[in-house]
Structure 1
Amino acid sequence: MKTRSSLFLTSAALLPLLGAGAAVAKDAVVINNDRASRALSAEEVLRLGPVNNPLPAPDTTGVTADIGAGPYLQGAKTRSGIVSGSAGRAFGSFGIPYTTTRVQDGNQSAAGTTAASRLSTTYPYRTVGKLTFSAGYCSASLIRRSVIVTAAHCIQNFGSGASIFSGFQFRPGHYGAAGATAAQIAPYGTWNWAALVRPASWANGTDIGSGAARDNDLAVIALARDARGRFVGDLTGYLAYGWNNYSFVTSSKTGNLHTAAVTTLGYPFLMDRGAIMQRTDGPTYTTTVGRAGQLWQGSNLTGGSSGGPWVVNFAPRTAALTGGAVAGTAPVMAVIGVTSWGSSDPNAPKDNYSSQFRQNSRYPNANYGGYGAGNIGSLLNTLCSSPAPGGGTFASQGYCN
């Protein structure tokens, strides 16, 4: 995500060349061959700065929200399979309204010896965590048993080809306020990366868009099992994901704008110095910026929240319905984007953007190997069908359940 400064380091990690300059190149799986990465200490984690999208924010003075759903069929992927549907139920002045709050419970002093971290260790909050690496930190969320989704700019600078950052580690449910214990900083442990996939068009700098607004600022990372052979999702659970603007609706009740109710989560550095998970809720719109399909939300989340999930139907608990009450027609709690960029000034106009999880010119298919449509389905299919250390594929080994 873009803030006032652009803090990025480069790594010397080498990858197969991706055919820089090609209009379309095949997405490549990057395997982590150094599984012995040392886990950062609690003090080192808390000293890390946020990673910001270094691409400049484009001019948004003429941006307007979409009034139509577009040509593609909405869908979502749950543990039991793909759910499709063309209608959603997310009814709710630009200067888009929103509410932001700490994900914190117990003693609001945030002292580490209290239960202040309890909320961030409950489902679904604990599926979200801090992603640390050589350049600093971003946010990420679990969408498969041992696969997280984050922003592509948290993997490498746009157009930097074979160079990616290094040392990716994920701490779900992270809480690092003053006085936090090691157990609160990494309540479910520290998980090293096993492999990742980011769009080839991001790596070679050909992704459609303008400045920070790009069609495909997303990436997926498989997390290695721990020393006991466990997958992280067996401890935390994980979220579903959706595509083609799942759960959005066009209605006269919202001025015929294509709208959804969205919850955004992450660790923005300018709020509690990135030590505590933050939550923003408000209406979100689909729009186009520099030819790139974007989700648009009112928000004051800043650098460090990059890669954090945009979730529809966010609900820790679902009520038992009686007396004729029914759920909406698109009720799945699903990640439909990740924080990509925002206004260069965090005080005005207070808005954030995400690449849409959807079919587009780079990822036109309606289904990739059973993982769904468009960019998110393709990246997961590439990762999960790839050979994994120890034999078989990441899917056959259980990472992608």
Structure 2
Amino acid sequence: MLSPHLMSTQFTSLVPLAALVTLSGFLSPLVAQAETDSLINNAAAEPEMSPLAVTQAKPFKNRLRPPNLDTLKPSQQASQNRSGATGEQESTATSRAAGSFGVPFTAKRVSLSPTSVVAPTNGGYLSATYPYSAIGRLTFSAGYCSASLIRRSVIVTAAHCIQDFGSGSNLFRGFTFVPAFYKGAAPYGSWGWQALIRPISWARGTDIGSGAARDNDLAVIALKPKNGKFIGDRTGYLDYGWNNYSFVRSSLTGNLSVAALSTLGYPFLLDLGEMMQRTDGPSFLTTIGGAGQIYQGSTFTGGSSGGPWIANFGYQNPRFSGGATAGRGARNNVVVGVTSWGAPDPNQRKDNFSSQFRQNTRYPRASYGKYGAGNIAALLNALCSGKPAGSTQTYEQLGYCN
């Protein structure tokens, strides 16, 4: 299995943490609100969702209304902040289709039919191979979303998969991650949650944006180890980037900031959410109501929320010769966003949007410990510098955040 890259920058500072809180019952009250993002530990040992509940879960959709996009245009402005990142076989593609802004994309099912050497009972499907194996379904009390592993035992998903916008102390419960979920099969088992961080601005309903387009629709969750083993030791895990890693702007792109991204997840309107789906195509930056967004042509709908947007997706690079090199910004499997919202009917509009992983008003710093810049780094730093209930060591010291 390909070993994921780790960051090389040094740990320099910590984000102050608010009081730890405990989950109990269907909704979970926060003991107190603070200006910083709160670490929420699963101190009540909340159980995982049952296999039946995981299989029968309905897709969860962002309940915020999409904003008006009549005047939406891609951005020509290059990032003012430095971008960065932490250190297959394909199934048959469908015909190309145009997104709501004339953006071409290719959509495909992540599937490999059983053969004489790949039995349908051994979990040997394409989605069970790295890097697909680091992506899965996240089931909880309100339905299911998608998520991906970006540290040894930490997944990233959408904040609206943790709680509704502006719902304060009310969180969903029972977060259970099944990597490489395929038609009810769980080739790497299911993994319950240990702790999570979501932006306090999301909880309070003050996050910058308009309708469903928000600056910080992302969250990170630490998963419990099993039998002393972390999930990433079995599935592998992806890298992540910030400040729009891999986006370029030049005369060859019409001076638009653009990247070639792969988005993955479990949209319910495609194979009933039972199989992982993949979309590839050019992705553009824009701003909606002050919120930094990435958009792409896509057929993804409810259930794909929280799924990763990945630069340089694939198993490994080829061997170069004749002076060829990988070029700038060529780190493999770098998550730069997660699905936040899009058209509910893919036959009317074919689009998909993500909050940008970047420095913004809520997360302005260029360095959050050793985890990089902006919102994604701030959330990881707050999670990894926190401690499990009753422990004297942090999640980082315990190995969750390697």
Indicate whether the TM-score tops 0.5.
yes
Alpha-carbon spacing, 1:310–1:325, altered in 2? closer, same or farther (3 Å): same
- Asked whether the equivalents of residues 134 and 166 of structure 1 are also in contact (C-alpha less than 8 Å), the reply is yes
1:32 partnered with 2:81: no
| Amino acid across the alignment from 1:246 | Y
TM-superposed deviation, 1:36: 5.4
Q: Name the Cα RMSD after superposition.
A: 1.8
1:169 partnered with 2:176: yes
Secondary structure, counterpart of 2:338 in structure 1: strand
Q: Which residue of 2 aligns with 1:393?
A: 394
Whole-angstrom CA distance in 2 between matches of 1:116 and 1:384: 32
| Amino acid across the alignment from 2:29 | L
Secondary structure, counterpart of 1:391 in structure 2: coil
Q: Which residue of 2 aligns with 1:52?
A: 61
Q: Which residue of 2 aligns with 1:76?
A: 85
Whole-angstrom CA distance in 2 between matches of 1:167 and 1:33: 13
Whole-angstrom CA distance in 1 between matches of 2:159 and 2:335: 16
Whole-angstrom CA distance in 2 between matches of 1:76 and 1:317: 17
1:213 partnered with 2:220: no
- Asked whether the equivalents of residues 195 and 221 of structure 2 are also in contact (C-alpha less than 8 Å), the reply is yes
1:317 partnered with 2:329: no
| Amino acid across the alignment from 2:159 | A
Secondary structure, counterpart of 1:95 in structure 2: coil
Alpha-carbon spacing, 1:39–1:52, altered in 2? closer, same or farther (3 Å): closer
Q: Which residue of 1 aligns with 2:17?
A: none
| Amino acid across the alignment from 2:325 | V
**Residue range with higher mean Cα deviation, 99-108 or 53-62:** 99-108
TM-superposed deviation, 1:151: 0.1
Which residues in structure 2 correspond to 1:140-289 (within 5 Å)? 140-176=147-183, 185-226=185-226, 228-289=227-288
In the TM superposition, what whole-angstrom CA distance separates every residue of 1:186-209 from its partner, at most 9, and x where no partner exists?
Answer: 111111100000000000000000
Q: Which residue of 1 aligns with 2:105?
A: 98
TM-superposed deviation, 1:72: 0.6
Unmatched runs of 5 consecutive residues or more in structure 2? 1-24, 88-99
| Amino acid across the alignment from 1:15 | L
Which of 15, 18, 31 is residue 16 of structure 1 equivalent to? Answer: 31
- Asked whether the equivalents of residues 267 and 277 of structure 2 are also in contact (C-alpha less than 8 Å), the reply is yes
Secondary structure, counterpart of 2:362 in structure 1: coil
In the TM superposition, what whole-angstrom CA distance separates every residue of 1:205-257 from its partner, at most 9, and x where no partner exists?
Answer: 0000000000000000000111x110000101111100000010002222111
**Residue range with higher mean Cα deviation, 344-353 or 97-106:** 344-353
**Residue range with higher mean Cα deviation, 325-334 or 149-158:** 325-334
TM-superposed deviation, 1:114: 5.9
Whole-angstrom CA distance in 2 between matches of 1:359 and 1:11: 34
Whole-angstrom CA distance in 2 between matches of 1:38 and 1:327: 42
Whole-angstrom CA distance in 1 between matches of 2:32 and 2:238: 33
TM-superposed deviation, 1:107: 3.6
Q: Which residue of 1 aligns with 2:134?
A: 127
| Amino acid across the alignment from 2:164 | N
TM-superposed deviation, 1:264: 0.1
Q: Which residue of 1 aligns with 2:374?
A: 374
Whole-angstrom CA distance in 2 between matches of 1:46 and 1:73: 42
Unmatched runs of 5 consecutive residues or more in structure 1? 1-9, 20-24, 79-92
Q: Which residue of 2 aligns with 1:5?
A: none
Whole-angstrom CA distance in 2 between matches of 1:391 and 1:191: 23
Secondary structure, counterpart of 1:98 in structure 2: strand
Identity %: 56
- Asked whether the equivalents of residues 106 and 114 of structure 1 are also in contact (C-alpha less than 8 Å), the reply is no
| Amino acid across the alignment from 2:205 | G
| Amino acid across the alignment from 1:267 | Y
What is the total number of aligned residue pairs between the two structures?
362
TM-superposed deviation, 1:16: 2.5
- Give the alignment's TM-score, normalised by structure 2: 0.87
Alpha-carbon spacing, 1:373–1:38, altered in 2? closer, same or farther (3 Å): closer
- Asked whether the equivalents of residues 57 and 144 of structure 2 are also in contact (C-alpha less than 8 Å), the reply is yes
TM-superposed deviation, 1:116: 7.9
1:347 partnered with 2:362: no
In the TM superposition, what whole-angstrom CA distance separates every residue of 1:77-136 from its partner, at most 9, and x where no partner exists?
Answer: 12xxxxxxxxxxxxxx9411001101001249xx99367852111100000000000000
Secondary structure, counterpart of 1:250 in structure 2: coil
Alpha-carbon spacing, 1:295–1:102, altered in 2? closer, same or farther (3 Å): same
Q: Which residue of 2 aligns with 1:329?
A: 328
Secondary structure, counterpart of 2:146 in structure 1: strand
Whole-angstrom CA distance in 2 between matches of 1:362 and 1:38: 32
